[in-house]
Amino acid sequence: MGEKRRGLSPRERSEWFWGWLFIFPTVLGLIVLNIIPIFQTIYQSFFKTGDFGKGNIFVGLKNYQKVFGDQEIWQALANTFRYAVVEVPFSIALSLVLAVLLNRKMRGRSFYRTVIFLPMVAAPAAVALVWRWLFNTEFGLINHVFKSSVSWISDPGIAIYSIAVIGIWSILGYNMVLFLAGLQEIPHDFYEAAEIDGASGVDSFFHITLPLLSPTIFFVMITRVIGALQVFDLIYMVIDETSPALPKTESLVYLFYRYSFVNKNIGYGSTIVVLLLLVTLLITVFQMLAQKKWVYYG
Amino acid sequence: MDTLERKRNLTRILVHLILILVSITMLTPFLWMTLTAFKTTTEATSVNPFVILPSHWRTDAFSAVITYMDFGRLYWNTILMIFFRVLLAVVTASTAGYAFARLRFPGKEIFFSLVLFQMMVPSQIFIIPQYLMVAKLHKLNTIFALVFPGMVTAFGTFLLRQGFKSLPRDLEEAARLDGCNIGQTFLYVMMPLTRSSMVALGIFTSVFAFKDLFWPMIVNTDKNMLVLSSALAKMQGQYVSKFPELMAASLIACVPMIILYVLFQKQFIEGIATSGGKL
């Protein structure tokens, strides 16, 4: 031990001291605000909250059994998937096209970029309110422009897709900027060489852009799927509690909100959010495995 | 004009057409929000004829929502929430980011894995215990409650660590030879050089704090302690189909951030998107 002591130079000792001092607030915060809460949430999911939020009764796996038999949960899971399955692919495909179109010297480039990114700085609560108004069946701008009379957000069959449209509109600019950053990394000579070989723009897109951009696409996909599985704000703001479309639009996080903070059943709310964690992890792991088939690391 | 040139021109026009169409789609909701806010309810809900521009630019809807909700208070609460979140995020993330990037000390890998772990978990899993902690401290309906979950930031620590990693090592060596200890080297030499990362983190934190609805809505229910986004949620119940009022409130809530965005668009886009892409 004495030897070890001597092996520690003043410089090393000072690095230890400053290192620990510098990370202390962050590590303490992460432990108190994040690490302990994860265990508390998992712990709570084995308890039933008594009436009026009073008292905890240990119920073992009962909450989980209830979740698996709960039609409402399965429906919420299906709603969440429906939302994600529309929002993620469409927002990625559209923003990819926009990024490719903007990835050149052209007039108005920064104007277009600024405008398309604009929804990112608007509060989702406000965005939801204005879309709710645009989607209004009787007086909405959309039905007026298309001479239609669709109940975009009150028809249980289509409401979740209308909400996904809002989601796409909101996230388009964000994805596009990430893709633009990725496109800058692709050397211009590749395209010139392809053009000399007689490749069309479409050929270049599929044989140069897509493979070389695939790591960025993969990153965007992972983060967008995680984000889409957590959809809440838009649904909460667009769909009224009394709307006939609510059962067909409420997401897992919406149910989590309702059980935990409206019904004050913290035990069941925790179970729902643990389910969300498991679903998210499962899908992320699956995507990580699937990437080997299509992501190109040059 | 040869055919190749003509084809190029045609493509260019087509590209602009698509981009203009997309731009219109992005702007229409904001435009419609503005136009509706200046109408009367009768105008807004008139179908035959459909009214696009208000006949008079009325501010009745604005005065109605301002009387119903103290927007000065909402702005103040929102600004305080953002200010403290940004301050704490920048301070804790730059010190921790520097330590993780440059210093050697026992436990570094384990502690850094906490940072990575936090970033991978959906944040809703923390919410109930965080809420119960705030409730137990009797701090519901305070600014503290709004700031609480954002006191430290795993994402920011990661971002700043990347920022410090990109700086040359000679600087620290030079500072050390000049007699600086590690704290001084960090404060006077290294930290000032990561200003762009700190600005990016500041903007990222501000925008996402401003957009957050779930947390402010559950911890602060007292009318005087709401923030802009949770106030909009509350107003939706109040003004069910009074569209001019709802649009006026949305406009008041969004305009300051939009103005800041237009003024500092480059920093905003870099701060929000590009730093997100650096993970």
Chain A positions in Cβ-Cβ contact with residue B128 (cut-off 8 Å): 37, 40-41, 44, 260, 266, 269-270, 273
Instruction: Compute the mean pLDDT over every residue in chain B, rounded to the nearest whole number.
Output: 93
Mutate to test the interface with B, among A130, A184, A265, A284 (most CBs of B within 10 A): A130
How far does the CA of residue B272 sit from the closest CA of chain A (Å)? Answer: 8
Q: Does A263 touch chain B (CB under 8 A)?
A: no
Candidates B22, B43, B65, B52; CA nearest to B238 is B65
Residue A48, strand partner residues: A57
- Which chain B residue is nearest to residue A275, measuring alpha carbons? B125
- The mean pLDDT of B65-79, rounded to a whole number, is 95
Chain A positions in Cβ-Cβ contact with residue B130 (cut-off 8 Å): 33, 37
- Which chain A residue is nearest to residue B187, measuring alpha carbons? A22
Contacts of A246 (CB under 8 A, 6+ apart): A239, A240
Residue with tokens 């921790």: B96
Mutate to test the interface with A, among B51, B53, B127 (most CBs of A within 10 A): B127
**pLDDT, tens digit, for every residue of B259-273?**
999 999 999 998 887
Nearest to A22 among B95, B125, B250 (CB): B95
Q: Which domains does chain A have, with CATH numbers?
A: 2-44 (no CATH), 63-294 (1.10.3720.10)
Mutate to test the interface with B, among A109, A121, A239 (most CBs of B within 10 A): A121
Mutate to test the interface with A, among B35, B90, B124 (most CBs of A within 10 A): B124
Q: What integer pLDDT is reported at residue B148 of this predicted model?
A: 97
Q: For residue B57, what is the DSSP state?
A: -
Q: Does the distance separating the beta carbons of A40 and B25 come in below 8 Å? A: no
**pLDDT, tens digit, for every residue of A272-281?**
999 999 999 9
Q: Length of chain B in residues, anyone?
A: 279
Residue type, B174: A
Question: In the Cβ-directed half-sphere of A93, how many Cα atoms lie within 13 Å?
Answer: 6
Say yes or no to pLDDT of B279 above 70: no
Q: Which domains does chain B have, with CATH numbers?
A: 3-62 (no CATH), 70-238 (1.10.3720.10)
Q: Does the distance separating the beta carbons of A125 and B253 come in below 8 Å? A: yes
Q: Does the distance separating the beta carbons of B29 and A130 come in below 8 Å? A: yes
Q: Does the distance separating the beta carbons of A124 and B229 come in below 8 Å? A: yes
How far does the CA of residue A157 sit from the closest CA of chain B (Å)? Answer: 23
Structure tokens at A69: 């038999």
**pLDDT, tens digit, for every residue of A140-176?**
999 999 999 999 999 999 999 999 999 999 999 999 9
Say yes or no to pLDDT of A4 above 80: no
Residue A161, strand partner residues: none
Distance CA A34, CA B126 (A): 6
How far does the CA of residue A180 sit from the closest CA of chain B (Å)? Answer: 10
Chain B positions in Cβ-Cβ contact with residue A274 (cut-off 8 Å): 125
For residue A27, the Cα-to-chain-centroid distance in whole angstroms is 26
Task: Report the share of chain B in percent with pLDDT over 90.
Answer: 79
132-151 of A, contacting B, C-beta below 8 A: 133-134, 136, 138-139, 141, 144
Give the predicted TM-score (pTM) of the model.
0.93
Count CB-CB contacts under 10 A for residue B204: 24
CA-based max dimension of chain A = 86
Complex ipTM value: 0.93
Nearest to B250 among A126, A136, A253 (CB): A126
Say yes or no to pLDDT of A3 above 50: no
Beta strands in chain A (DSSP E): 47-49, 56-58
Q: What integer pLDDT is reported at residue B26 of this predicted model?
A: 97
CB pairs under 8 A between A and B: 274
Q: What integer pLDDT is reported at residue A52 of this predicted model?
A: 53
**pLDDT, tens digit, for every residue of A87-104?**
999 999 999 999 999 998
Residue A277 near residue B122 (C-beta atoms within 8 A): yes
Q: What integer pLDDT is reported at residue B188 of this predicted model?
A: 93
Residue A102 near residue B15 (C-beta atoms within 8 A): no
**pLDDT, tens digit, for every residue of B103-158?**
999 999 999 999 999 988 999 999 999 999 999 999 999 999 999 999 999 999 99
**pLDDT, tens digit, for every residue of A29-85?**
999 999 999 999 999 999 888 765 566 788 888 999 999 999 999 999 999 999 999
Q: CA torsion, points B61, B64, B66, B68, in degrees to nearest 10? A: -140
Task: Give the pLDDT band of residue A1 (cuts 50, 70, 90).
Answer: very low
Q: Does the distance separating the beta carbons of B232 and A123 come in below 8 Å? A: yes
Q: Does the distance separating the beta carbons of B33 and A125 come in below 8 Å? A: no
Chain A positions in Cβ-Cβ contact with residue B101 (cut-off 8 Å): none
Say yes or no to pLDDT of B185 above 50: yes
Q: Does the distance separating the beta carbons of B114 and A27 come in below 8 Å? A: yes
Nearest to A114 among B106, B186, B265 (CB): B265
